[in-house]
Structures are given as C-alpha cells and as structure tokens.
Structure 1
Amino acid sequence: MLRNFSPSALVRRYGLLVAGLTLGALTAAAHLLFLIGSGLAYVFAAPFPGARTAVRRAILARAHAFARLELRRLQRFFGDPGTLAYSGRRVLLYLATRLWVGAAGGLIVFLLVMGGGLAGVLVAQLLDGAFNDGPGLFVVNVFLGLVLLFVDVQGMSGLAVVERRLARDLLGPSGTEELERRVGELAASRAAVVAAVNDERRRIERVLHDGVQQRLVALGMLLGRARRGGDPERAADLVRQAHEETAEILRELRDVSWRVFPAALDDGGLRPALEAVVERSAIPVRLSYGLSGRLSADLETVAYFVVSESVTNAAKHAAPEWIEVDVRAEDERLTVTVTDPGQGGADATGGGLSGLARRVAAADGEFAVDSPTGGPTVVRAVLPCA
C-alpha cells in the first residue's frame, strides 16, 4: 500500500494522523472531566425531579456538542466516518467508550516524540564519537528505534480505523433504523418511478394531441380539398402540401419514439445514442465520453435521458453558445454532467428537471442542479454502476 504514496503524501498522511491523535487525546481528557462532572451533577440533582430533568437535558446537549466536535476531528484528520444519525444516551456511551482510544492515541504520540528525542540523542552521540569502540551498540539502538517507529506507524493507522469504526457503530443508525431508512428509500423510489412513468405518458399524450394529431387533421383536410377540387393545378399544389405535412408528421413521430426509447441504445449503447443527441441539437455540443464498455440497459437509459433532457432544456430556455456533456465512471459510480454558460436560473422543481430527478432517484442515484442567475448551469447525476 505504501508504495502508492509519494514521500510528500506519506508525510502529509502521517502528519494528519499525529495531529488527529494528539487532539483526540486532549478531547478524551475533556470528555473524562465532563463525564465525571456530569455524574456528580446528576447524583446531586437526583432527589429533585425538576432539577434532575434540567441536568439531564443539559448533559445530553453538551454531549451532543462534544460528539459534533469529534465528528469534525474525524473528518478532518481520519476521513469521513460515514452517515451518522445519533440521539439520546448513545452519545454518552460513545464519549465514555472512546476514552481508552484517546488514551492509546496519546500514548502512541508520546512514544513517537520520545523516539524522536532518542534519535536526536543517538545522532549527537554518533557525531561526538561515542561509538568509536564498535558499531554494536549503535546498531542495536538503531534497530530498537526502527521497531519503535514501526509500532508507532502501525498503531496510528490502526487507531484511525478504530476511531472511524467506533463512531459508525455507536453514532451511526442501528440495524432497525437502517432497515427503516432503506424501506423509506425504496418506497420513495417506487413512488418516483410511478410519477416518472405518469409524467412521460402525459408528455407523450400532449405531443401526440398538440402535434401529430393536429397535423393529421390538416393532412386529411388537404387531401379532401384535393379530391373535391376541379382544378388539376390546384389539386397538385394541395397534394404537394400534403406530402410536406406527411414528412413533418414522420419527423415528429421519430422525435416521440426517440424520447420514449432511442433505438441507438439497443443497437450500439450509450455512446452512439449520445452522439445522436449531439447531432440533433441546434446548439453546438461538446461530448466527453470516458467509458470503455457497456453499462446495464437501465443505467444507460437513465444517463441518456439526463443528457437528452438537459440539452433540450438548455437549448430551449438558456440560449447558450455551447453545451458541454461529460460522462465518466469512477469508483463504481457513473457521473453525468451537462454544463451550459447560458443565462442560468433553471428551476430544479420544474417539470423537466424534476422528472429527471425522479428518474435518477429511481436508480438509487443522486441528482443536483446548480444554476445561479447569469449562469452557468450545471446538471449532474451520479449513479451506482458496480
């Protein structure tokens, strides 16, 4: 693992570990004083119901404040411990349990400082010629110093893992809470799927009613006038208009079919489907595609509609000079980003963007729109693609 780090990265990493453990030892001492003081205060207030309730609330409030500071320390020095949802006495249990972790961290930092001091003494003795009689004692001291350094390094890394695990176990959601959260997410995803399907049906109905249906009525009227007319030249002109109307009907039907499900997704996958979006766009689109293989059909469909709807919305409402589409996969997550330097002010709760948000949520993804007034507008969807 260490060979993947540059020397500067290693120094920074272990510098953060030393700083985090040092601060953790100090906060553990503060937690110890707080727990002792809280216990004494609660004992004295126990005979008085009103005072007991007030003291308990004050203790829990202060414990939550300590826990928030600890989470900031973990995020700053040891990495994000994950999603936490703590309440009640679990915070007190966390503060009491991590006392030994803080003490162990303080001991490791003390040993590291002591080792550094001994290394300095050893170097000074070497320069003074204290080991001129033979290298044996010097080699023994160097070996013991390296052993101590190895123990310190491994101890720091291990305690960082323990700190994060302790926070997740004691401050994170319990098994029941996690199950309830997951059930809620599934229910919301199911509702999002139903809403997205209904929105798509309504949109298709509007397109067919307001576009294709009206053109078919006009086509029928043109053909009827051509049949009833006695002037061959006039009839030929009406037939020509009917032919042009037929071409428009076919174009609109192709647009509807592409919006329902583009055939290019089945034929070649996501890339050719997005290239078709680029070709059909009235605004220049720069496509950056960083995927090397095919994704699942459902995932490609969601990614396609995120790009297609975002490009359409930008061209229709933002009037940008160009649109940039970036599709890439990192850490088993597909990220789709559509950026335009238009006028901004896009409404994330509008019909088009809210429909995209429901599509992404139904795929267990995350959807965000950043569109300040004056632009640029950035639409981003992050989808799991393990």
Structure 2
Amino acid sequence: MRRLARLTTSLGIGACTAVVELPFTLLSALVLLIVLPWPRGRRAVLTPLTAVAGRLAEVERRRLARFGEAEVSHAYARVRALQYVAVRWVMGVVGMVVVFAPLSATVLWAVLVWPFTDLHHPGDVAATGVGNLFFLLVGMQGVFGVTHLEGLLARHFLGPRPEEVLERRIEQLAASRAGVVAAVNDERRRIERDLHDGVQQRLVALGMLLGRALRSRDEMRADQLLRQAHEESRQALTELREVAWRIYPTVLDEAGLRAALETVAERSSVPVQLDYRLDREPGTALATVAYFVVCEAVTNAVKHADAGLISVRVAPGGDGVLVCIEDDGPGGADSSGSGLFGLARRVAALDGRFRVESPPGGPTTITAELPCA
C-alpha cells in the first residue's frame, strides 16, 4: 500500500506538471514553425526553449527518482530534454485519467448504485462490493503500468542508454579491478613490513642470545641467556600468529563469520558490542570482506579514535548484508586514509557501497553494504 501511495503521488505530480508542459509544447511548436525557414532564428529560439525544457526535464527526473522508482541519467542533451517534454505531457494526462477515473467511478457507483441496493439481499450487496473492488483493482494496475511506461519514456529520451550502462559498468569493473590489485600490493607491503619489523627482529635477537649462551663459560649467565632466548622465541611466535591472523583467520573457515567477529571483539583492548543478526552463513567472499571491514574499523578505533565503546552490527540489508561499526570517539576520521581507503576498495570489489560519517565531536560510523550476488 505504501508503494501504491508513492506511485500514485508520482502520477499526481506528473499530472500537475503536464498542465505546464502542454502549453509549453504548443508554444514551442508554434515558435519553431515560424522560424523554421531561418537557421539563425531557429538557433536563437532553440537556446531559451531548450533551457526551459531542461528545467522541466530535471523536475521530472527528480520526481521519478523520488516517487516513480526510475533512475534516469542527469547527463542528457538539452535537445533531448525538449523532445522528452514534448511527449511527456501525454503520459501526464494518462496518469491523471488513471488516478482520478477509478476514484470518480467508485464515487459514482456509490452515489448511483448504492442507494438502490437492497442491503437485506446478499446478492445486491455482493454485486456492489465486487463492482467497487473491480474499479479499485483496475486503478491499481493502471498506476503500476503508467509508472512503468513513464520510466521507459524517460530513459529513452534522457538516458542512460543500454550502451551507456554497459560503458559505465566496464569503467566500474576496471576501477574495481585496479583497486583490488592495489589493495593486494598494499597488503603484501604491510605483511613484509610486519615480518621485517617484528618477527625478523625477534629471530635475529633470538639467534644472538643463543650464540652468546653457547660462547658463555658461566653456567648461570648461559642459563639466563637461554631464558631470554626462550622469551624471545615465545614473542616471535605470538607476533607470527598475529601476522597470520591479519592475513586470513582460519576461524572464518572453521566456525564462520560470527565466531571470527567474536574473536575480534575478544582481542580488542576497547569493549566491543557485537550485534549479529544473520540467519545463515554468507558466502566466502562476502564473509571475508565483512570480517576485514570490522577488523580494520575496530583496529582504527582502538588506535586513533580514543573510544570507550565500539558497536558492531551485522544484519540483512536490502538484497545483501549491512555491516555497521560505530564508536563513541571524538570523530574527525579521515576517510581518505590508507586504512579506510583500502576497505573502500575491498567493498567496491564486491559491487558494494562504503560510507564513513565522522563529524567533529563524533560518533564515527563506518557502513558497508555488501551485495549477495
């Protein structure tokens, strides 16, 4: 019913704009007919006419986007806008008929038929009810049909054309592929840096401690060096596990996304409140991106946000999965930073949408909409 009300509102507004478009179309046709033999005059007249037509077409485009469930390109030629306005008023009149004719018929039915209906006779009552229901169903189907035709008409004149859609899709795929390649290279550099600055330094220290223990002639000193070497080996193993965990957590394959996110919450030094609402386990690619979005967002909040509480929500959203991370920090996060930019590229690789809202004073909210295609 909400959709029907929205589409009916769209047709009602379209009927009102048709009242303006019809006189404009007639006036434009008359003016162009007068200046048709003179090219200069025709060009001089077309400039203001196409400007007005562009404004009217923009009104229709916004109406269809908000109420009519039709996305129309905003990059269209002014001449195409003039052509669109010249025929759009017909759909406005049809929409007016579709919206008001069933209503008028219902009112007339109630005024002319209902007073003569025998309320004590079930057949008369049923016939009257069926008649009203028939007009209602005809009106509903007319609203849906005319709205669909309006969308087709707008896309035919204003675009995007199928070729433009394909070209845009190719550009998106090329950009996302380049983003994935860059993200992989960045991840490799980060892993190399973690190994070089962490695990490798620990192993070098371990080798030096063992060498000093072998050369030492003092048993107590050698025993102390061996204890230090044992501690270094334990630290190196811990850091190696951390690096392996950041590369890809095995718990994601073994126990699923929920268990992996619970592990992220447990390992965080700041309290993390997890709200997981998925009824079934998502696919591997989607679960991996969702995990890394949460992991990186929580890590950034712990390091830079000075947050006291981090809220993570994973729930169904539209045709996919909605991942939302919010912290109570002071805000001001830079969405163009390397960490958040890398997450945006990960999400874009799945044709998802990534959004960062971090006003001064907080809170910072990171949202990822991941499709389940």
Cα RMSD of the aligned pairs, angstroms, is: 2.6
How many Å apart are 1:260 and its aligned residue?
Answer: 1.0
Q: CA deviation at 1:74?
A: 2.6
Matched residue SS, 1:300? helix
Tell me whether 231-240 or 108-117 shows the greater mean CA deviation.
Answer: 108-117
CA–CA separation in structure 2 for the residues paired with 1:75 and 1:81: 5
SS at 2:98 equivalent:
helix
TM-score by length of 1: 0.86
Supply the distance in 1 between the matched residues of 2:180 and 2:254 (Cα, whole angstroms): 25
Q: Describe how 1:97-108 pairs up with structure 2 within 5 A.
A: 97-108=87-98
Normalised to the residue count of structure 2, the TM-score between the two structures is 0.89
Residue 357 of structure 2 is aligned to residue 370 of structure 1: yes
Q: Kindly tell me: are residues 191 and 356 of structure 1, through their superposed partners in 2, closer, same or farther at Cα, counting changes over 3 Å?
A: same
* Matching residue of 1:34: 24
| More deviation, 290-299/376-385 | 290-299
| 3-state SS of paired residue (1:337) | strand
Task: Confirm or deny: 8 A CA contact 2:155 2:161 kept in the other structure.
Answer: no
Deviation digits for residues 166-206 of structure 1, max 9, x if unmatched?
A: 33444331121111111101110110011001100111111
Letter in 2 for 1:310: A
1:111 matches 2:101: yes
Cα separation, 1, equivalents of 2:125 and 2:276: 59
Report which stretch shifted further, 18-27 or 367-376.
Answer: 18-27
* Paired residue secondary structure (1:338): strand
Mean CA deviation greater in 223-232 or 181-190 = 223-232
- The SS at the match of 1:374 is coil
Q: Contact 1:115/1:149 (CA < 8 Å) preserved in 2?
A: no
Structure-2 residue corresponding to 1:292: 279
Quick check: 109-118 or 246-255, which moved more? 109-118
Q: CA deviation at 1:352?
A: 0.7
Distance (whole Å) between structure 2 residues aligned to residue 137 and residue 302 of structure 1: 63
Instruction: Specify every segment of 5 or more residues in structure 1 that has no aligned partner in the other structure, as ranges.
Output: 1-9
Residue 56 of structure 1 pairs with residue 30 of structure 2: no
Cα distance per residue 1:199-238 (max 9 Å; x no partner): 0011111111111122222222222222222222122112
Question: Which secondary structure does the structure 2 equivalent of 1:98 belong to?
Answer: helix
Post-superposition offset of 1:47:
4.9
Q: What residue number does 1:249 align with?
A: 236
How many residues are aligned here?
Answer: 370
Which of residues 80, 84, 95 in structure 1 aligns to 2:85?
95
The answer as to 2:373 corresponding to 1:383 is no
Q: 1:242 deviation in Å?
A: 1.3
The 1:280/1:111 distance shift into structure 2, 3 A limit, reads same
| Structure 1 position 220 matched with structure 2 position 207 | yes
Q: Using the alignment, how far apart are the partners of 1:232 and 1:24 within structure 2?
A: 94
Tell whether 2:317 aligns with 1:330: yes
The structural deviation recorded for 1:337 is: 1.0
Does the 8 Å contact 2:102/2:138 carry over to 1? no
Other-structure match for 1:209:
196
Structure 2 gaps, min length 5: none
Q: Does structure 1 conserve the Cα–Cα contact (< 8 Å) formed by 2:270 and 2:309?
A: yes
Q: CA separation of 1:213/1:161 partners in 2, compared to 1, >3 Å: closer, same or farther?
A: same
Give the Cα–Cα distance (whole angstroms) in 2 for the partners of residues 62 and 328 of structure 1.
46
Does residue 220 of structure 2 align to residue 230 of structure 1?
no
Change (3 A) 1:332 1:17: closer
User: Structure 1's 34 and 314: CA in aligned 2 closer, same or farther, altered over 3 A?
Assistant: same
Does 2:252 correspond to 1:262?
no
Superposed counterparts of 1:170-181, under 5 Å: 170-181=157-168
Q: Percent identity?
A: 50
Distance 1:171 1:248, change over 3 A: same
Cα distance, 1:53 vs. partner? 2.9
Partner of 2:304: 317
